[in-house]
Structures are given as structure tokens and as C-alpha cells.
Amino acid sequence: MTSALIDIRHATAEDAPALAAVREEAWRATYQGLIPHITLQQMIASHTPGWWEKLLRMGASVLLLDFDGQTQGYATYGRSRHGPAGYEGEIYELYLMPVYQGAGLGRQLFEAARRELGRRNLQGLVVWSLRDNEQACAFYEALGGQPGGTAIERLGGERLERIAYLWP
């Protein structure tokens, strides 16, 4: 999992502040203009370092991507919660700091999370993305994901469509 500058590793409770910081910056950059402002603020504010610490202490699966010793991205994953039948694994969240996007790191993090799900014998993978998040949709399609259903999410009074990308 390690190369000279890039290290993909399992997060521990000590990583909670870094996770909160990466999520805040990545979510702001990704969802400003897509998710109504106040709702986005609330969705960012809810994931404090304390929230992450509790999640990690409960045993959640979180991979971090460190670049030159600094956390610049993360993926959370586990058993699928809302996926179609037959798709047992899910990557719940996959986020990189904006300046680290577009350089192949997302692919590395995605593949690492996928391998971890495979090790747990979870068959098939689903990842949900907002349809309006064109970057994420293009990324999942480039990685071979097949659109396999949609769902409507109500956020701040708006109806936003989510797409399920599937890997058998």
C-alpha cells in the first residue's frame, strides 16, 4: 500500500482531527452550489473530530491517504446499506483535498477500499453519487462502474437525484 510519498492506511482515533479537516474542505469544494447552503453547512458541522473519533472507536472502516505524511483523502466503506440486491459492499464516502484531485490518487484509494471489501468476502460493490456531481460520476464511470438505479434525496427542501454505480 505504500510508495515513496503516498501511504494508504487504516485510520485510528488519533486521525479524527485530520478526517474532519479533509471532509470539511472537500465537501465545501464539492457541494457548494449543489446542496442548499444552510443544509451543507449543517452536514459539514455535524462531522466534528469528536464524531469521527467515536465512529473509529466503534470500529468503522476508514482508509486514509497520506501524501508526504499529511492526510489528504479518505474512504469509508463496509456492508451496503441501500444498494440493490447482490451488491454487498459499499464505499460510503471517498474524498480528496481539492489540490490532490485529478492525479490518480482517487483511483488508488478506491482500489484499496475495494480490496478491503473483497477481503471480507463482500460480493459486488455499490457507490452512490449525486447526479449533479459530474466529476464523481465521470470518475466512477472511468473506473468501470455501471449506472444501476437512482434514488431521490431531499436536502434543504430540494430534490436531488443520486445514482448507484455498480461493480459486479
Ligand X SMILES: CC(C)(COP(=O)(O)OP(=O)(O)OC[C@H]1O[C@@H](n2cnc3c(N)ncnc32)[C@H](O)[C@@H]1OP(=O)(O)O)[C@@H](O)C(=O)NCCC(=O)NCCS
CB of 91 to ligand X, least distance (A): 8
Joined grid coordinates for residue 17: 482531527
Site string for ligand X, 107-126 (x = CB under 6 A): x-------------------
**Selected binder of ligand X within 32, 42, 70, 135 (CB under 6 A):** 135
**Residue closest to 147 by CA, chosen among 130, 131, 166, 134:** 166
**Selected binder of ligand X within 78, 83, 106, 145 (CB under 6 A):** 106
Radius of gyration in angstroms for the set of CA atoms belonging to the chain, rounded to a whole number: 15
**Selected binder of ligand X within 57, 138, 144, 158 (CB under 6 A):** 138
Question: Using the rule CB under 6 A, is 30 a contact of ligand X?
Answer: yes
CB of 30 to ligand X, least distance (A): 4
Which residues have a Cβ under 8 Å from the Cβ of 128 and sit 6 or more positions away? Answer: 82, 90, 151, 162, 163, 164, 165
**Residue closest to 15 by CA, chosen among 87, 94, 86, 69:** 69
Q: Is the Cβ of residue 41 or residue 108 nearer to ligand X in the bound state?
A: 108
Torsion sign, CA atoms 9, 94, 142, 85: positive
CB of 65 to ligand X, least distance (A): 9
Which residues have a Cβ under 8 Å from the Cβ of 119 and sit 6 or more positions away? Answer: none
Question: Using the rule CB under 6 A, is 133 a contact of ligand X?
Answer: yes
Contacting residues toward ligand X, per CB under 6 A: 26, 30, 94-96, 101-107, 129, 133, 135-136, 138-139, 142
